[in-house]
Structure 1
């Protein structure tokens, strides 16, 4: 295939990192023959390949895994630093949309659309992912209960329709409460992170915990359905309610509906800042109106058409306690927000390193913000668990670029760090960690401090010392050399990362593979590992 015929789409993820997708290949790393990891290893056993830090010194020697093509492309500023040699992305896109006619431009847009992050995650990951199954189970159970209530066989639900709506809001809030999830992830690691626990239980738990967004979205849709049902029942019995109660209920419905529309994948993908602010502020306003609705509806006396505003009356009702729980869960993270001093080191125009005081356990992530009410950005945390921790921020958005052009002296942080997929590495005894580009930051803590898992790291990036600095290079080099595979694409070309990961997992006898890459790269690595019989996990939409 001619290099000049390739088109590479650039997108930004909701985590503030960018990546590139090659629409002319089903697998952006597929350079080899397509053989299985074991077959490929048989063909190439005993042939060493040097994976150097720079052009004069080498870091690690491993068996040759797959043919790789040289790359002389300029330094990349993307999360997955896999480049096409001699291909200028910026100039090509300018030429594409300035010099070609409308018909060709429309075809280019169609290619971008088909190969966008959205289509990869929602379509290529399949219709029966754990996330989608949790969504369907949650929504189906609610719809069955609603249908039984409408049919007259569930009088409690008919009498307490608003409670079912509030209950779903409580459930979706629990699924997104960083304080609650920190406890849940900690318990999962403590209870299941033992050698004698069955591996299938561990992998099933990992799949479930990283897919809780399915319950969150399923409960969101269900809460709307129950609130519509409650409104219909209220309108049919207007004599026993007031216009104020109806108005509050209708306003809450509109706000939740608006929040759900903003969270729809297409809107969230294209207008992420709009999604984040709409989701946050409509949620807060809806909670305020929910308190008015609950207080008025629970204290209204139809016979006297008055309100009995006594706490004893409210305290007897489940709606009150559910609403109180929702409020507490939403407030907790904001109680930990602080403005703290930071030190920002710009390693290059590619990335910056942000340093904070205090050590952090491996696998945790943190949120930072220049303005806490408008935007928050999540990053993996690098720490030796002692006096400080830091974040590696790729310069791909307005905020991350400003860290380089105008390094701040202070940033807003949430003092309680949250647990995500990387934290679950602690559940396993042996694991392979695969990172591309600045995705290395979520795994470095496992190399710098003692942890339960014995890990092997694969890092594929470009111009490592130039783009990420000597400090990151030295942190990686502290790990035992036999447990680290580093590939610099500027020197060694583009490897078949999927086969490299599966082969390393086989050699390492890993219980699981955890990857941080772009959606297409993560998908291919996970598929290749699963074909080799190795459980593999990577970030998913809304994880």
Structure 2
């Protein structure tokens, strides 16, 4: 998974510890042959003591990996999956109707339905389009008289638009296969070049979708990102070729003659033009900018840019414009500069600490995600672990319509995050935040801490950013207590 907007940390939410007086002995060491050391210490009673140690030792549960939480712990009927199923089911229904002769338009224009699905999936990932959608949602629903269930339903929908993206991706392949079958049935009305281009587009769509399969995406994320980007660009170029060739081919003369007016009247031309504009525009805003990178410790880096930014927005950065891009929450007081707090959890973020750059590539268009929807509510508890606080800090520094309460759990805050972050935290009213340093106070049960804070502060909703396990535990506990809660999902 790409460097997420959640600022993932390694914070452990487990608070269980063994209280046995025998806990100083490590059961795994004993079983691996170091029992002789114990026998030398306590003599002939060692076998009985060993048996007592084995009985007293906790039975460890199978460790949960980040991947298992991401792939297996999201539930069977999430909003994401319901949107995927709905999108796919509508397309399957339309395709069946077309194949059985009950939808003549779709039967004739199967390729157009494939292109239409591609347009829809691009819209669901367009940072420009979603910035507008999120802004409209906050403006329309961010009023005190709007019912909370309506706000939370909108939050769930906007957070899970990836379900529509995935459903349209599979559906575009399905429609293109059907279109190819129709073309092959009437080969006399088309050309071999058109068939070849359509087949090539189909192959690229299939490769791109296979690379996005959750297991592949999270185990080999850089591979997924490169395939998704470059296969998509090649497919877009071939799509233009397909649209132009089909618009200009004369089956009677078996020749091509392009008339511009004929081309612009075609619906697939309009769809392809919109797809192209949506894909190209963010790349036109890419700039190489000077940055100041500081690292208080090896755990996180603070990256500074010029220019103020509104609260709740996120940005993407990269060392090379064609390589992998990474998204981080933006910290800004809205005036002269903004910053990103990057926890050292991967190759890119670790490199920011060990080899801080003087320049980075960034996109001038900042995008909206789950943190932006804080503005939709009246009272919100935001929960962060480690560097995840970065996505929320702007709400401390800038006035927002929401009354925001903070819970931040991290280790060695002063040492790992530095004086500048600490000063920003301390500038916020202490009665509206809980800062828990695990190096000083031990590891808390963050889920229970969150529920108590919601009760104490009479908050309407919880928004959490943590590692997959931490986010899951907080969201699950809150929802079990009847509290609306949202955290990063696997497709964030």
User: Normalised by the size of structure 1, how large is the TM-score?
Assistant: 0.81
Give the match for residue 262 of structure 1: 211
Task: Choose the corresponding residue for 2:131, options 167, 182, 196.
Answer: 182
Equivalent pair of 2:305/2:338 in contact (CA under 8 Å): yes
Q: How big is the alpha-carbon RMSD for the aligned residues of Structure 1 and Structure 2?
A: 2.1
- Please give the alpha-carbon distance, in whole angstroms, between the structure 1 residues aligned to 2:390 and 2:108: 52
- Please give the alpha-carbon distance, in whole angstroms, between the structure 1 residues aligned to 2:356 and 2:256: 56
> What is the aligned residue count?
455
Equivalent pair of 1:436/1:517 in contact (CA under 8 Å): yes
Instruction: Within 5 Å, give how 1:58-137 maps onto structure 2.
Output: 111=62, 115-137=64-86
Q: 1:227 to 1:205 in 2, by over 3 A?
A: same
Q: Secondary structure of 1:432's partner?
A: strand
Q: CA deviation at 1:69?
A: 10
Q: CA deviation at 1:346?
A: 1.1
Task: Choose the corresponding residue for 1:244, options 190, 193, 208.
Answer: 193
- Please give the alpha-carbon distance, in whole angstroms, between the structure 2 residues aligned to 1:141 and 1:322: 20
Is 1:541 paired with 2:490?
A: yes
Instruction: Within 5 Å, give how 1:251-290 maps onto structure 2.
Output: 251-290=200-239
Give the match for residue 408 of structure 2: 459
Is 1:204 paired with 2:193?
A: no
Equivalent pair of 1:29/1:498 in contact (CA under 8 Å): no
- Please give the alpha-carbon distance, in whole angstroms, between the structure 1 residues aligned to 2:301 and 2:251: 63
Is 1:29 paired with 2:14?
A: yes
Give the match for residue 491 of structure 1: 440
5+ long unaligned stretches in structure 2: 33-60
Equivalent pair of 2:314/2:330 in contact (CA under 8 Å): yes
Task: Choose the corresponding residue for 2:452, options 477, 500, 503.
Answer: 503
Task: Choose the corresponding residue for 2:378, options 419, 424, 429.
Answer: 429
- Please give the alpha-carbon distance, in whole angstroms, between the structure 1 residues aligned to 2:97 and 2:127: 35
5+ long unaligned stretches in structure 1: 1-11, 23-27, 32-67, 71-84, 87-91, 96-109
Equivalent pair of 2:381/2:463 in contact (CA under 8 Å): yes
Higher Rg of the two aligned structures: 2
Q: 1:385 to 1:14 in 2, by over 3 A?
A: closer
- Please give the alpha-carbon distance, in whole angstroms, between the structure 2 residues aligned to 1:111 and 1:146: 45
- Please give the alpha-carbon distance, in whole angstroms, between the structure 2 residues aligned to 1:116 and 1:291: 43
Deviations 1:257-298 (A, max 9, x none): 000011000000100000001100000000000000011012
Q: Secondary structure of 1:139's partner?
A: helix
Q: 1:188 to 1:500 in 2, by over 3 A?
A: same
Task: Choose the corresponding residue for 1:15, options 4, 18, 24.
Answer: 4
Instruction: Within 5 Å, give how 1:195-344 maps onto structure 2.
Output: 195-344=144-293
Runs of at least 4 residues off by over 2 Å? 12-22, 28-31, 115-119
Q: 1:412 to 1:121 in 2, by over 3 A?
A: same
Q: Secondary structure of 1:149's partner?
A: helix
Instruction: Within 5 Å, give how 1:152-163 maps onto structure 2.
Output: 152-163=101-112
Q: Secondary structure of 1:15's partner?
A: coil
Deviations 1:243-265 (A, max 9, x none): 10000000000001000011000
Equivalent pair of 1:422/1:443 in contact (CA under 8 Å): yes
- Please give the alpha-carbon distance, in whole angstroms, between the structure 2 residues aligned to 1:354 and 1:20: 21
Q: CA deviation at 1:303?
A: 1.1
- Please give the alpha-carbon distance, in whole angstroms, between the structure 1 residues aligned to 2:161 and 2:454: 27
Q: CA deviation at 1:305?
A: 1.3
Is 1:529 paired with 2:475?
A: no
Is 1:391 paired with 2:376?
A: no
Q: 1:469 to 1:20 in 2, by over 3 A?
A: closer
Equivalent pair of 1:432/1:512 in contact (CA under 8 Å): yes
User: Normalised by the size of structure 2, how large is the TM-score?
Assistant: 0.89
Q: Secondary structure of 1:381's partner?
A: strand
Q: CA deviation at 1:129?
A: 0.3
- Please give the alpha-carbon distance, in whole angstroms, between the structure 1 residues aligned to 2:211 and 2:3: 13
